[in-house]
Amino acid sequence: MNQSLVGRSAPAHHHCCLELVATWLLLTGAASAGDLFVNNATGDDVRNGRSLESKGAAGGPVRTIAQALRLARAGDRIVLAKTEEPYRESLTLQASKHSGIAGTSFEIVGNGATLDGTRPVRPNAWQHVEADLYRFPPSAKSFHVLYLDGKPAARKMSPKPGQLPELQELEYCLLQGHIYFRAARGKLPSEHNLSHTVLPVGITLYEVRDVVIHDLTVQGFQLDGINAHDGVFGAQLTGLVCRGNGRSGISVGGASRVRIDHCLVGNNGSAQVRTEGASITHLISNDLIDDGVVPPLLRRGGRVHIQKDPPADPDKP
């Protein structure tokens, strides 16, 4: 605010206009906010997403979260159905369209669903090294997690360059741009259910306000499960499971202000939670797994407040 205006009241004839504008914003905000339903088993992206069950030619859930975000308006709530199949998408929430309004947050309600960024390893991608040891070169060389039967496989620290990794059966490590894996004795890697992190980020938040994401598993992304990139204020991540992502489960950067509340974060490649820039992160009653391989919290900048009870205002240090 211009310093010359500090402490001054608006002219009397402006008060009535300001009250009318505020009332109009409240009314139009309340009218526009609503629920969007997503079901990747029974939904269809040609529908409007505004009803839980199919109704008529257009009513009913959409199939993808991305389509729900395209249809969404400020203050909406996106409600996911938990099905047997994960949602295999990489999402971005950006600007006012995906922000809260008039005291109503923009929400993604996971209902225990899973957002998954993995893809199967092609059988012909594996190269034999020795005995039961194999390797393959993923397309991106920096951060990766190998999955076995839909869960992060057991990971070992990388050896020094020039040395072969000492892996037990069904263990893997990263070495010089390759994923090394020791198959079960007498088996080929293609005889195991193996997948790896491919999609870049589960959910990117950029210049959004008052966003709430809860009750969702975010796993298998090549960089981060959730990345509050910059300009994110009043974001709340509650009851999430962020696991098996190549770099971190949750990353908070730029000038973002994020509250992470009662989340389970583990088995990520470089850190469970990482912060950078001028961000402020509140960690409240989370379980950040210390697996002896990567740190529970990696600070590249920003401020972190760890506490049991939420602050009165999460945007304040």
Q: What is the pLDDT of residues 78-108, one digit of tens each?
A: 999 999 999 999 999 999 999 999 889 999 9
Q: Which domains does the chain have, with CATH numbers?
A: 32-117+199-307 (2.160.20.10), 120-196 (no CATH)
Instruction: Say which residue, 27 or 279, is predicted with more confidence.
Output: 279
Strand (E) or helix (H) holding 27:
helix 12-32
DSSP string, 223-287: SEEEEEEES-BSEEEES-EEES-SSEEEEE-TT-EEEEES-EEES-SSEEEEEEEEEEEEEES-E
pLDDT grade for 296, boundaries at 50, 70 and 90: very high
Q: For residue 298, is pLDDT > 70?
A: yes
Q: What is the pLDDT of residue 25?
A: 36
| Helix and strand counts by DSSP (H, E) for the chain | 2, 24
Rounded to an integer, the average pLDDT of 199-222 is 98
Q: For residue 19, is pLDDT > 70?
A: no
Q: For residue 193, is pLDDT > 50?
A: yes
Q: For residue 185, is pLDDT > 50?
A: yes
Rounded to an integer, the average pLDDT of 134-147 is 89
Q: How far apart are CA 247 and CA 3, in angstroms?
A: 43
Q: What is the pLDDT of residue 235?
A: 98
Q: What is the DSSP letter of 67?
A: H
pLDDT grade for 192, boundaries at 50, 70 and 90: very high
Residue 177 · residue 202 · CB < 8 Å:
no
Phi, psi angle pair for 95, to nearest 5°: 65, -165
Strand (E) or helix (H) holding 281:
strand 271-284
Q: What is the pLDDT of residue 141?
A: 72
Q: How far apart are CA 221 and CA 145, in angstroms?
A: 8
Task: Write out pLDDT tens, residues 236-283.
Answer: 999 999 999 999 999 999 999 999 999 999 999 999 999 999 999 999
User: Worst-scoring range by mean pLDDT, 13-22, 107-116, 199-208, 271-280?
Assistant: 13-22
User: Worst-scoring range by mean pLDDT, 37-46, 135-144, 245-254?
Assistant: 135-144
Strands 264-266 and 287-288: parallel
Q: For residue 8, is pLDDT > 60?
A: no
